[in-house]
Chain A
Amino acid sequence: MERREWIGLFGRTAPAALRVAAAPLGKMRDPAWLRRPETGSVMVRGRAGGTGAAFNLGEVTATRCALRDGDLEGHAVVQGRDADHATLAAWLDLLLQGPRAAEVRRTVLIPLAQAEAARRDARARKAEATRVDFETMARGED
């Protein structure tokens, strides 16, 4: 999993779920801030049918922060206004670039990725079960 993927994953994960997943890593230090957590809104863009022209779907409240530890930097943008969520996500991003990467990958990243995949799969199945296929009878025009 690449860095941009895990930053996105931490941002989408519910704060409580992220805290539970990261609990085995122990308590994080007070960070050296590059940018303290700040909440704002970002415009989410979409494409009709996934392929049409881009349009503005709506605004999402997001919180971002950046911190550093030694030579490493951790960045996070998370959904919602939970500053602790953003801080934890930034710490995890930082740890995934450092010597504890394998441990964090095993205890946090892979379980969260699997949980998200399962969530998406379940929703896709539920939607698929309600799919209606329209069929047109021959209308005898020819």
Chain B
Amino acid sequence: MQPAFADHPTDSAVAFRAIMEAMARPGTLRTVAAAAPDGLSPAAAAVLLVLADPTTPVWTSSAQDWLVFHTGAPVARTRAEAAFAVGTWDDLAPLAGWAIGTPDYPDRSTTLIVEVPTLEGPGARLTGPGIASEARLPLPDPPALAANAALYPLGVDLILTCGARLAALPRSTHIHLEDA
């Protein structure tokens, strides 16, 4: 078993702030970190420690014991019941199985925490709420994510993690495929 935050009250508040800022400004990078178990990046570990609790089933294939011990979150048995899912893009694709919310309750959707190889470099052009002019972010599968954004106000939200850094891609962000 691996530990979690060293100083839980402070570290979790700092990480929550970073995740909120990342979600509010899609495409920008934030640094968060927690002691991570095998199979999770420090950023993904921090996101789960902050956001997962006994009411949010988490779909994961790694570090299940660690997750249950530190957060009390149940492990989701199906994709549809997951409030959070963590893994690489190959683990999580296609997006079809995840909860996308309902017209009355669009918040009842899955938030995907995607471990990506890089957050730097050329990427898809993003515009939309929270982006002043445009942002660029390397995305794992731009066409699939653009299709997800087209479901707005339904759809899944993504948090991309790489090492101790993360960026967010909420469903409200437009992904421009023509110059991806």
Contact = CB atoms under 8 A, between A and B. Distances in A.
Interface of A: 32-36, 66, 68, 73
B1 A32 contact: no
A66 B66 CA distance: 13
B8 interface: yes
A66 B70 CA distance: 11
Per DSSP, chain A at the interface is: strand
B1 A33 contact: no
Given A34-B69, A68-B3, 10 more contacts: A33-B3, A35-B3, A35-B4, A35-B69, A35-B70, A36-B8, A66-B1, A66-B69, A68-B1, A73-B1
17 contacts: A32-B3, A33-B3, A34-B1, A34-B2, A34-B3, A34-B4, A34-B69, A35-B3, A35-B4, A35-B69, A35-B70, A36-B8, A66-B1, A66-B69, A68-B1, A68-B3, A73-B1
Contacts of A66: 1, 69
A126 to B, nearest CB: 41
A35 B70 CA distance: 8
Contacts of A68: 1, 3
A73 B69 CA distance: 13
A100 to B, nearest CB: 21
Nearest to B7: A36
Interface in B1-55: 1-4, 8
Contacts of B69: 34-35, 66
A35 B1 CA distance: 11
Contacts of A32: 3
Q: Which A-B residue pairs are the 5 nearest by beta carbons?
A: A34-B3, A34-B1, A73-B1, A33-B3, A68-B1
A19 to B, nearest CB: 26
Contacts of B2: 34
A63 to B, nearest CB: 15
Interface in B39-95: 69-70
A142 B1 CA distance: 72
B69 to A, nearest CB: 8
A94 B131 CA distance: 52
A107 B178 CA distance: 75
Contacts of A35: 3-4, 69-70
Nearest to B3: A34
Nearest to A36: B8
Contacts of B4: 34-35
Nearest to B2: A34
Interface in B98-129: none
